[in-house]
Structure 1
């Protein structure tokens, strides 16, 4: 079966790869604009969640990465764990208790224990939570690798104007260079998805959620984990650069505008980041802004909608959920995937129709 995937970010690429593994003929349409995947912090986690069902989905996402990496071991993914001290006192104790009640692996570390894990990090507090199952991905690199491995035909620099249909059934997409035909279409175009879906009167309300990240120049010191601090999330890239979120709790941040100048953002981040890193003086290399593809209720949108043959996969965090979304959407597009129905039930597009 021929399937068109609209979007070449980490979600679209994962869907394309899983479709190809199931024998589908895949065409991926990449509009060419920089998306959230190329500007993502890349944290893979289930310690951030909206409710128990959302936590189960995110845990399933981590497990799906294990299955994906078993057959694609060279993906730019490091499941090195996370250290969390965003809050202290009763808030930390509640975080630990809530996650333990959900059966999620969590360890309560002392300052000494955490320092042994991260000897080049200064200012560690007396209480830290460790999430050993978490990690991080270079989302842009993972997307590119999966897209290549999928063997999909890729159409780049072409805008999808809408969904083509005949008698209530998908027959392809309309683009700036004409119609591309297929009996199945998956819209995984992030913040661009609502415009594509509006052509068939499918509603996908989205929040405006910018994310800003600062990358330093390479340093010789080593940070082994994702660090979740009161100021923002931090991790080190394989080339020695340090990547930091410009806001605390960036996954839960509700800001809709970025009003600071880039150099002011970098200076503000370095004021708290530089003292944290022992044995190095940090200088910023890059400030990046991206708009997170977040549906109006903050939860993923995954499943069929509109004319027969149309499927949607739009979500934040796309990095955490890319592997499970790829598995589930590919199966459902091809008329399979009953094992995913309960997991995905809260996230169907019909809640917005």
Structure 2
């Protein structure tokens, strides 16, 4: 490694959700001088605030899958559909949807799921290391994920996922109804609603908001500077490089810049010629106080019918999921609340009162192939860590570590070329240098 690559650099991270804060942590651990900018008054107050709470590498799957176009048509006429498309003429949305539909093939699904599982499995390992090093607490549990099937056809359709899990060496268990109840005793009263399940014992749970806030305090102890309430106006560029960040509180400069603004990432770099295929998918959650421990989940249960995750977070149940294609609208929809309530009541009725729940919505930064965009760009000092969709919490530690390694001139511990922006640029591929180059180079 050259002395140039070992040089301490000033790095500005744009965004203080779980992705931005983990990026800052690993960059600071690598010896860099880090500043994080966010428009909110504190960390994890947007997409990372009240997500489903899953750390589920084995369940890392792209929404673009074989059969999804037909299912989407059927969902249009269902009251409790897991995917909702709000009618509106939006060229950005139409372009993104076309790219997503192009990924709804068996071959594309296998490739996309495999690389998503790769970064997610690595991320869980990085999180385990971080926990061991720091003792960070976040209502964490390590008791797996149980995907429950209400219909036999759903269980039969899990075969494609199982093949990918086998290929990637991810532990799993196929359970009958009794096996599901043994894994999650709270399902006993609703056992007649399910036919079986797929359990991933290596998955974990935890409160993303608590984690991000605690890691922020630990990063401050490493001299990371957090600038709250600062709105980013633009990235300035000259001579093919970023020269500064213009904000409502003045101009900031650094040697390297990291874009971690989730669903708001594309707008900030469009004028630089970067077309990030990221679109916001609106998700919802309920946070319900537990009233009967015996009826509550012990970990995460995925309700395959409604694509809803029901997760134990300390003395609360987090019910999260659904995907609404509605642009940047953040209004709360009572119809979506009814779907979340239906799922948790049918499976864990009596565990808590949904009427006492906190209802929340947030925007997930979704790529058409489901894989995040982590790494370099054609602009030498601009890096990306964005587009994690519904899996930002699951993939956060690993993405932050990969990014810090790339910026520091180290080869990541996992294959990372296919995680970068270059996969969206025809005829190019990533290089460790971060520049795009001919695919046969």
TM over 0.5: yes
In structure 2, the partner of 1:250 is none
Residues 37-116 of structure 1 aligned to structure 2 (within 5 Å): 37-45=48-56, 46-49=58-61, 50-76=112-138, 77-86=140-149, 88=152, 89-116=155-182
**TM-score of the aligned structures, taking structure 1 as reference length:** 0.88
Q: 1:158 to 1:279 in 2, by over 3 A?
A: closer
Partner of 1:299: 371
Contact 2:22–2:397 (8 Å) recurs in 1: yes
1:270 paired with 2:341, answer yes
CA distance in 1 between counterparts of 2:369 and 2:263 reads 14
- For the 8 Å contact 2:12–2:36, the answer to whether it is kept is yes
2:86 maps to what in 1?
none
Q: CA deviation at 1:266?
A: 2.8
**What SS class does the counterpart of residue 36 from structure 2 fall into?**
strand
1:226 has 2:300 as partner:
yes
Q: Residues 136-158 of structure 1, C-alpha deviation per residue, up to 9 Å, x if partnerless?
A: 23222222222221121111111
Q: Give SS of 1:39's match.
A: coil
Matching of residue 242 in structure 1 with residue 253 in structure 2:
no
Task: Flag structure 1 segments of 5+ consecutive residues without an equivalent.
Answer: 248-252
TM alignment of 1:157-168, pairs within 5 A: 157-168=229-240
**How far did 1:44 drift?**
1.5
Deviations 1:251-295 (A, max 9, x none): xx4744789964443334323422422554523312211110113
Structure 2 CA distance for aligned equivalents of residues 67 and 261 of structure 1: 37
Structure 1 pair 150–307 and aligned structure 2 pair: CA distance change class (3 A): same
Residue 31 (structure 2) aligned to one of 4, 23, 31: 23
Structure 1's consecutive aligned runs of 4 or more residues displaced over 6 angstroms after TM superposition are 257-261
1:185-209 CA-partner distances (Å, limit 9, x unpaired): 1010111211222343322132231
1:41, distance to aligned residue in structure 2 (A): 1.1
Counting matched residue pairs gives: 345
2:113–2:164 Cα contact (<8 Å) kept: no
CA deviation after TM superposition for structure 1 residue 64, in Å = 1.9
Corresponding residue number in structure 2 for 1:128 = 197
Deviation per residue, 1:147-189 (Å, 9 max, x gap): 2211211111111122234433333311112211111110101
Q: After the TM superposition, which residues 187-198 of structure 1 pair with which residues of structure 2 at under 5 Å, given as runs?
A: 187-198=259-270
The answer to whether the 8 A contact 1:16-1:28 is kept is yes
Would you say the 8 A contact 1:262–1:287 is kept in 2?
no
Equivalent of residue 335 in structure 1, options 393, 409, 414 = 409
Q: Which moved more, 1:263-272 or 1:6-15?
A: 263-272
Once the two structures are TM-superposed, the CA of residue 315 in structure 1 deviates from its matched residue by 2.3
Question: Aligned equivalents of 1:164 and 1:44: distance in 2?
Answer: 36
Contact kept, 8 Å, 2:174 with 2:198, in 1: the verdict is yes
Distance 1:26 1:282 in 2: 44
Report 1:1-20 matches (<5 A).
1-20=9-28
Would the aligned equivalents of 2:292 and 2:352 in 1 still touch at CA under 8 Å?
no
TM-score normalized with structure 2 length = 0.72
Contact persistence 2:234–2:245 (CA under 8 A): yes
In structure 2, distance between residues paired with 1:80 and 1:162: 44
Residues 1:338 and 1:99: Cα distance change in structure 2 (over 3 Å): closer
Aligned partners of 1:288, 1:145: CA distance in 2, in Å? Answer: 22
Q: 1:10 to 1:280 in 2, by over 3 A?
A: closer
CA–CA distance in structure 2, aligned partners of residues 193 and 264 of structure 1: 29
| C-alpha contact 1:246 1:265 (8 A) present in aligned 2 | no
Across the aligned residues of Structure 1 and Structure 2, the Cα RMSD in angstroms comes to 2.5
